[in-house]
Structure formats: structure tokens, C-alpha cells
Structure 1
Amino acid sequence: MGYRLPRTLWASATLLLFSTTAAWAQDPQDSSLHLTLRQAMGMAVTHHVQVQLALEQAQEATARAEEARAALRPAVGFNSYQMRQTQNLRAMGLALPGFPTLIGPFNTFDARVQFTQQILDLVHVHEASSAQTGVEVARLEATARAQQIAGAAGLAYLAVQQTLESVKAAQANETLSQHLLQLTRDQLKSGLATGVDEVRAAASEAQVAYQLQQALGAAKDATTRLHRALGLPLDLPIELTDPLGIVPASSPDGGDAVDRALQQRPELQALEKTLEQRVTEKEAAVAASYPTIGLIGAIGPSGVLPTQYDYRTYSYGIQMSVPLYQGGALVARQDQAESRRRQAELSLKDGRHQVEEDVRLAEDSLNTSRAQVKAAQLRLDLAQRLMQQAQDRFVSGVADNLEMVDAQAGLAQARSDQIGALGGLGMAQVNYDLALGQITYETPTQPESLP
């Protein structure tokens, strides 16, 4: 996961990946990358650095749990030394008549295998349990991060869809405005329009041309942000295959949605596991004041040199350690653990309230967006009829082109509102699924050569 291909090879490998995946098949002559909404989400989850970091943190937590469990397993070590020394007997409190004060030099050799095994050590038992819970927390946090990244990629995908539809609408408005300008000039030649009508139509056409350039710029910016969200080279062409407004939908279901979110939101599950971990840490802090019992043993040769007066010696036994007084450190450790437990409890309580708020807001937004789509479609239909009627009245010479220009502006606004409503519906659906913790995406099957 830490290995990264060069930029050009990375892009080539990405193209190869999706050209060989049946679900993402495309025309061999087409160099662009074809993506559905769910595929874009899956690509973001696969390549986004935040997801990769979360997975690495889960790996780190797994290693810490293994390290904590190791304290409960047998430990075997080897120790050896060869020394040449002298000793001052008087320094050791020995003043024997007829014996020299300084003895030596003499040699000492010792080599032995040492063994320890904890029999009763509740501190390490609770610490191992806490570390294992930490693994579950890290994995749930990685899942939550993946959901968030998938949701952000989905919103970026929908933003590109919306801007591309805005470009199409602006192009349609441009075509219509050019047609109306030409119609006004024809009417002017026929004596059925005035110079004011021509200037009015030309000003409207210029305004529409300006709006088209704005739409093109917005589409380019949104596409760049989508590339970044998906972790793709910025020069790689992308074609979005899902039409705007087509989002696999799940319907709001009132209070049941809140209950489901409380059960399946990975962020909330991570907070619940964190509280469980803090409780176990408190138990470990309390157990630090309990006795520990363990087996010890050692065996090996001892002598002057490895080959001189070399005898095998051994020792074994059982030891018990009881903490009596450590300057208040044990009580302080328990207080810290209790504080962390209360903090986790408060975070969990706040997280539950936040989930309920997220679901209710997302549910209201989704219902509102669906109503807006229906209203926007009705408005567009009426604006098209009004445009046709205004154009017919102008051609018949019974009205100037003011009605026609106003109708054109109304039609352009109705098109914009419909696109906004469809885009808003898709985004509301993504946010609703995100609030429930049920974002689904298609994770690409990639060759091992990809990062």
C-alpha cells in the first residue's frame, strides 16, 4: 500500500484496470474512463489517501494488540558472560588473619537460558482485552472514513453531472436566443418590429452567451474536483454514464430510519467500542494494585571458563509481587482511566444525538427535493408553452418582443431550476444514505501492480 507507481504508469495501469473489467467495459477507441456513480464511489474509497491511512491505523492497532497479548505468553531468553576480576575483601567487610586483602585475578563464566511465565496478572489480561477492542475501533473508523469518502465522491460526481447539464441548457438557451435575434431582425425588415426590439434581442443573446461561458467554467472546475476526489490524474478524460437524477434510492421511513442509523452507523459503533475499551482500561488500572504471580527458571553451565570447571546449574521457583505504595501513582492512574471513560460516554451520547439529527435533516431534505423536482418539471412545461405563445404573438405582429424576451428568460430560469432540483435530489439521496450509514459502492478489482 506504500508503493506508488510513477504518474504515467499509474494512469496507464488505471486505464488497463477498467478496460479489463466487464462491468466497466467501453469502446476500445474511446480513451476516456466511463464511470457510474457507484463505481466512482468505489474508486475514491480504493485510492483516497485518507482511507489508506485509516487502514494502516487498523494494522497498527492489530500489532499493538499482538504486543499486549505477548505479555501473557511464556518468555524465554539467553544470557551469558565471561569475566576476569579482582576483589577487595576489606571493601566487602572481610578482614581475615592470614588472608590477603586483594584476591585475584580470577575468571568467572556463566551462560543460561531463562524462562518466565505469568500465572496471575490481571493488568496484562485487561490490557490485552483493551488492545483487541482497539482493533475493532480502528476497523470501524476505517469503515466510517470509507463511507465519508464515498459520499464525498458521490457528491462530486453529482456536481459534475449538474454542471454538464447546465452547459447543455446554456447551449440550448444560446441556440434559442440566436433564433429569436434572427427572428427579430426578420420582423424588423418586414416592418413588424422596431430598432428597440432588435437591441433588446441582441442584449438578451449577449447575456445568454455570457451565461454559457460561466457554465463551461463551472463544469471544468467541478470535473477537476472530481478527479481529485477519485485520486485520478487531472488530464485523464472521464465520462459519467449515469444521467442526472438517476440515483439508486432508498425511501425515508420515519422513526425506523433513526433506529437503523443508530444500529449501523460505523462512527457510532466505533464510539460504542471506544467506551467498551475505556471501561477495560479502568479495570486494568484497578488491577494494578493486585498481586501478580509468575513462574521463573534458569538453567546453564557455570564455571571458570567454558571448558574449565564447567558444571550445569539451574534454578526455578515461583514469585509474587504486591504493590504496597507507589507515591499515589496507582490512584492517579485509576482517576485518569475513569476520566477517559466518562469522556467516551459523553462522546457516545453526543454521537447518538448527532446521528438522529443527521437522519432527520437528511430525510426532510430528501422529501423536499422530491417535491421540488415535480414542481420544477411543471414549471419547465409551462415556461416552454409560454415561450411558444410569446413567439407566435410576436411573429403575428400583435406584440413586441418584450414578451418573447421575458418568456425566454423564464424558460432559461426554469431549465436551471430543473437541473438544480435534479442535482439536489441526487445529493439529498447520497446524504440520506450517508446519514443512515448505508452508502453502497462498487469496489474495483485491481491488479496487484496498482497502488
Structure 2
Amino acid sequence: MKFRVLVAVSTLALTLGIAGTGAAQAQSIAQALAAAYDHAPDLQSALLSAKSSAEDIVRAESAKRPTIGASLGGNYNWAVGPGAVGPGGTNPTGAFTGSSTFSAGLSYNQTIFDNFATEAQIEAARAGAEAAEYQIRNTEQNVLLDVVQAYMDVMTGQQLVALRQENLTFFRAQLQSAEDRLEVGEGTRIDVAQAEARLAQGEAGYRAAISSLEVSQATFQRLVGAAPRNLSGGHDFSRLIPGTLQSAIAEAETGHPAILLAKAGIRAAQAGSDAAQAAFGPNASVSGQVGTSYSTATGTSSGLSGQLGFQITVPIYAGGALGAGVRKANIEQIRSEVDAMGAYDQVRAAVIAAWSGIQSADAQITAAQAAVSAGQEVLEGVIQERDLGTRTTLEVLNAQAELTTAREGLINASSGKVVATFSLLAAIGRLTAADLGLPVEVKTAVPYTQTVEDVWQELRTVAD
């Protein structure tokens, strides 16, 4: 009877552990994701990269705008000449003379036509900045999915440690029972040895579970920036998942950041091809200067003077560089289209894999629950029959091992379904702070890009 009570208590403790570990002040998945979003160095690096790409737009646009410069210069002139002639002849010492000249001016230069090369370069820069923005979203998804995996690894590890600790308690009770039965002549030394062997195996499994949990906790802290505490695996993000596989694939093909990034890459490559073609056309520019000078030798100023000019150039031969540039740009455009097709295939495969993972996890959970229920009844029955002398201690130990395996399968399947759910959200492009409604400031370089594109921004400070 006491073994049935022990098994019942263990099952209740495990059920409570799976259902709501650390209900008091529980750290939810959403809280862990929000903390990781603010902490992740990879995400911050992607944001800085996007801001850097925004500056390429400004640099490209600057080719359409004038450049104005001011200059201020001066020269000091000196000379040594013969001295005055006196009664005794020529003075052998020379006379030193010197004067200074100062000048100041303004210059103006502007390209007024370059066969639309600048427009193509601006388009390429805009596409590059857009791609960098999508890279932020892609990095964001990868970071958040890693956090979910680490979160569930810790939860799974904690549950496995608790399960194997209960398993040790059971094996110790069985060893004690075997020894008691041996003392009264109802058991054998083989029963005791078998119980001791299973206890040793249980100790090893328990230590392995602790070691794995420590590794998972370290990974969690690296990603989130804080140690895990009272984790609770419940979430309501399943509402974001489409109802069918085909709708999930369609959503992924229109909204996944990797696909949007690939499309931006095609735009950039097309613009690069246009810029390479434009290099064969004419280029026209205007320039002007205005300035004045002053000489201390004469004490007069030259007055205000200036000049205005224009220049038109047409390339005739550049040693093959222009043709090579066009061919290279065309190859890059084709490569960007091939990369986009690869991105479509990868995203589609990821959606199907995640969708299948959820279905498989559901089936595994159902099977594991049935196995746990059946294993519970088998174990209780075998213990009763062992007490009546119709079963052996080894059969009790084997029944406990099968029940433990079923429980571990239930734990792993439950964790796998959560990970598969978030993997599907990532595959369709919705594992983002905005879609999840996380209480964070969404990282984006769009405001920075809009600020630096201001034509007067060079005259004032731009906030990072």
C-alpha cells in the first residue's frame, strides 16, 4: 500500500510542476522576449548597420547638389638687393625687403547632368537601406526564436530534474523494500542488487539532468541578460498562426523579412546595372569662383573678381573598364534574382517544417499522455502483485523505468510544441516585437534615415 501512495504523490507533484512552475512572480515567455529584445547585441548591431546604410543615401544624393567652399590664403615675399653707393664706393651689405599678399574667395561646383547615373545610385542606396531595415527584422526573429528555445530548454531541464529526483526517491524506496524482504526471508540478494543498480543509474541520470539544466540556464542568461526565475510556459501567441498551411505559406511569401530583403536586393542590383550603363553617357558640370586679394607692398586691394565656367565630357575609351562594369552589374542582377528564388524556397520549407512540427508534437503529446496513464496503472498493478509474491522486484523496476520514459516523452513533446509554434511564427515573418505586442520600443532605422536625408542636416547635429 505504501508504494501506491508514493507513486500517487509523485504523479501529483510532476503534474503540478508541468502545469505551472513557479506560479508566484512567474517570468512569462513574453517578459523574457521583451528583456532579450532590449539586451541583444546582435539586434543593436543590425540597427547600427541600418543607420550606416542610411548615410549611403545622403552620399548618393550629394552628387546632385552643389559643393560650396571658402578659401583664405596668404604669401610672404622677401628679397635681398644691393645697398646704396657711398663716398667710399659700393656698400657690400645687402638691403632686405619683404611684403605680404592675402587672398580670400568662394568656389561653387555642381554636376547638372550625368546621364542619370546619380539617380540610379540613389535608388541603389535606398534599396540598400531598405534591405538593412529588413535585416533588423530578420535578426529580431532569430534572436526571439533563440530566446524561446532557451526558455523551453530551461523549463524542460527543470521538469526533468524534478522527475529524475522523484525517480531516485522511488528507487531508494524499492531498495529499502528489497532489503526488508531479504531480512524476513521473502526476497533474494538478486532483488537487492537489481535495486541498487537501478538506483545507481537513476543517480547518473539525475546528475546529467542537472548538468544540462545549468548549460541551458547559462544560455538563457546570455540571451536575456538575466538569470531565469519561476518560468511559466503559457502564452497566447497561437492566435497569430493562420488556419491552414497554404495560408501560412502565402503569408510568409508576402511578409517574411528574408523575402523582402531579397526583393530589396534585386532593386539594388537593377539600380547598379542602370548606373553602370549611365557611365557611357555625357557628364555636364558648372563651376564658379569669386575672390579678392590685398598686398602690403602697395597697400591696395585687387578688388572683387570672379569667373564662371562649364564643362561637358563624353567617355570615348576607358580601357574596357566601362564594359566590364556593365557586365558585372548584369551578373549581379541575375545573382540577386537567383538568391531571391532561394529565399522563397527556404522560407516555404521552414513554414512546412514548423507546421509539421506542431502536428507531430500534438500527436506525441496525445501518445505520451496515454502512455503515462497506462504506465501509472501498470506500475501500481505490478507493485501489488509483487507484494503478493507473483511479480519480482525487477518487474517493478522495469515498470517504473517505462513510466519515467513516458513522462519524459510528455515533457519533451510539450516543450517541442511551444518551440514549433514560435518557429512557425518566425517562418511566416510574425515573430517580431510589434506582432507579439511586446512592451518595448521597436528598433528601426527609419526615423534616422528620414532625418539624415534633410538637405540641411550637414549644418547641424544629428542625434544617433
Distance 1:70 1:430, change over 3 A: same
Within the alignment, does 1:287 sit opposite 2:278 as a pair? yes
- 1:6 maps to none
Within the alignment, does 1:129 sit opposite 2:123 as a pair? yes
After superposing the two structures, state which structure 1 stretch, 304-313 or 419-428, moved more.
304-313
After superposing the two structures, state which structure 1 stretch, 271-280 or 105-114, moved more.
105-114
User: Structure 2: how far apart are the matches of 1:309 and 1:262?
Assistant: 72
Within the alignment, does 1:344 sit opposite 2:333 as a pair? no
Within the alignment, does 1:214 sit opposite 2:214 as a pair? no
- 2:139 maps to 145
- 1:11 maps to none
**Contact 2:242 / 2:248 at 8 angstroms: preserved in 1?**
no
Q: Deviations over 1:317-364 (max 9, x none)?
A: 443222222222221211121121111111111111111111112211
Amino acid at match of 2:269: R
Within the alignment, does 1:276 sit opposite 2:270 as a pair? no
Within the alignment, does 1:393 sit opposite 2:405 as a pair? no
Alignment partner of 2:313 out of 293, 296, 321: 321
Q: Secondary structure at the match of 1:393?
A: helix
Q: Secondary structure at the match of 2:300?
A: coil
Within the alignment, does 1:409 sit opposite 2:401 as a pair? yes
Within the alignment, does 1:259 sit opposite 2:250 as a pair? yes
Q: Secondary structure at the match of 1:114?
A: strand
1:121-200 mapped onto 2 (5 Å cutoff) = 121=114, 122-200=116-194
User: Structure 1: how far apart are the matches of 2:278 and 2:77?
Assistant: 44
Q: Deviations over 1:212-254 (max 9, x none)?
A: 111111111111121122244xxxx4214313x7673236612
User: Structure 2: how far apart are the matches of 1:40 and 1:325?
Assistant: 62
CA positional deviation for 1:74:
2.1
Amino acid at match of 1:311: G
Within the alignment, does 1:114 sit opposite 2:107 as a pair? yes
After superposing the two structures, state which structure 1 stretch, 421-430 or 288-297, moved more.
288-297
User: Structure 1: how far apart are the matches of 2:267 and 2:338?
Assistant: 13
- 1:419 maps to 411
Alignment partner of 1:201 out of 195, 198, 207: 195
Amino acid at match of 1:119: I
Distance 1:292 1:126, change over 3 A: same
**Contact 2:34 / 2:440 at 8 angstroms: preserved in 1?**
no
Q: Secondary structure at the match of 2:316?
A: coil
User: Structure 1: how far apart are the matches of 2:214 and 2:326?
Assistant: 57
User: Structure 2: how far apart are the matches of 1:74 and 1:396?
Assistant: 101
**Contact 1:82 / 1:108 at 8 angstroms: preserved in 2?**
yes
User: Structure 2: how far apart are the matches of 1:216 and 1:75?
Assistant: 67
Distance 1:307 1:278, change over 3 A: farther
What is the TM-score normalised by the length of structure 2?
0.78
**Contact 1:43 / 1:444 at 8 angstroms: preserved in 2?**
no
User: Structure 1: how far apart are the matches of 2:242 and 2:155?
Assistant: 22
CA positional deviation for 1:288:
1.5
Amino acid at match of 2:155: Q
Within the alignment, does 1:238 sit opposite 2:213 as a pair? no
Q: Deviations over 1:33-92 (max 9, x none)?
A: x53222222322322222121111111111121122122112111234445789xxxxxx
User: Structure 2: how far apart are the matches of 1:398 and 1:220?
Assistant: 43
- 1:89 maps to none
Distance 1:51 1:382, change over 3 A: same
Q: Deviations over 1:120-155 (max 9, x none)?
A: 232122212211221111111121011111111111
Q: Secondary structure at the match of 1:298?
A: strand
**Contact 1:151 / 1:434 at 8 angstroms: preserved in 2?**
yes
Q: Which runs of 5+ in 1 are unaligned?
A: 1-25, 87-104, 447-451
User: Structure 2: how far apart are the matches of 1:146 and 1:107?
Assistant: 64
- 2:451 maps to none
Amino acid at match of 1:177: F
- 1:23 maps to none
**Contact 1:177 / 1:205 at 8 angstroms: preserved in 2?**
yes
- 2:368 maps to 376
Amino acid at match of 1:352: Y
Q: Secondary structure at the match of 1:71?
A: helix
Alignment partner of 2:217 out of 215, 223, 227: 223
**Contact 2:292 / 2:301 at 8 angstroms: preserved in 1?**
no
Q: Secondary structure at the match of 2:290?
A: strand
**Contact 1:303 / 1:309 at 8 angstroms: preserved in 2?**
yes
Amino acid at match of 1:203: A
**Contact 1:302 / 1:313 at 8 angstroms: preserved in 2?**
no
Distance 1:252 1:368, change over 3 A: farther
After superposing the two structures, state which structure 1 stretch, 262-271 or 290-299, moved more.
290-299
User: Structure 2: how far apart are the matches of 1:253 and 1:445?
Assistant: 30
CA positional deviation for 1:398:
2.6
**Contact 2:76 / 2:99 at 8 angstroms: preserved in 1?**
yes
After superposing the two structures, state which structure 1 stretch, 434-443 or 214-223, moved more.
434-443
1:298-337 mapped onto 2 (5 Å cutoff) = 298-302=289-293, 304=295, 308-337=300-329
Q: How many residues get paired?
A: 394
Q: Deviations over 1:423-445 (max 9, x none)?
A: 22122222222211211446565
Distance 1:251 1:411, change over 3 A: farther
- 1:354 maps to 346
